[in-house]
Amino acid sequence: MFDAQCDLAALVYTQDQDPDQILHEFASGLNANGHRAVGIVQLGRHYPDASLSATLVPTGEQLRLFQDMDACSGCRLDLGQLTGAGERIARTLDEGADILIVNRFGRQEREGKGLAHLVEYALGADIPVVIAVPSHHFADWITFAGGMTVKLHCDRESLDAWWSLVSARAGSLRRPDHLTVCEVIK
């Protein structure tokens, strides 16, 4: 069921772990090294009002994904903002990407909504996907993914090791119809 070279990875975290920092550093590192990481990452615990904001990758634009309600009802997810972010991410994927990063497998995604369509879209385009999955919803994730996933510890080493395997395999499988300018000139 778990294949280390599967293009779909779940960064599984517990309540005391911060997948946001790991995903943010991972995306930044990939983009700094010439890869094209695309997606969305929550700002995490180290930012004020972290639960209210996320960052689009690779632009770094910050979005507020929650809307304030009255004092009695607290806050709730702004589905319009989430949908808009999903549309922007899909357009960016169309421009080319090496990996899709999704901030959470949350309630919307468990119901097949939210950013769930981006996972299917990216995998259909042979773009690897990593998504943060809370440990208490990992069984739901397995159902969503049809068992075709890699379960990663919530640490950078596990994520980097998976990426090394997946990106090396993807590089060796490049089809000849995707020639570089240098290959065409030769």
Is the CB of residue 91 less than 8 Å from the CB of residue 98?
no
Domains of the chain by residue range: 8-185
Is the CB of residue 152 less than 8 Å from the CB of residue 17?
no
Tell me the per-residue pLDDT of 5-51, one tens digit each, with 9 for 90 and over: 689 999 999 999 999 999 999 999 999 999 999 999 988 655 555 45
Q: Which pLDDT value is given to residue 92?
A: 95
* Its pTM surpasses 0.85: no
Residues of the chain with pLDDT under 70: 1-5, 44-52, 67-76, 170-186
Question: Of 130, 152, 110, which is closest to residue 12 (Cα–Cα)?
Answer: 152
Is the CB of residue 37 less than 8 Å from the CB of residue 30?
yes
Enter the CATH code of domain 8-185.
Answer: 3.40.50.300
Residue 65, burial from CB neighbour count under 10 angstroms (0-12, 13-18, 19+): buried
CA distances from 8 to 15, 101, 151 (A): 22, 10, 9
What are the structure tokens assigned to 159, written together? 């994520």
The residue written with tokens 């778990």 in the block is 2
Query: In DSSP terms, which residues pair with 133 in a beta bridge?
Result: 12
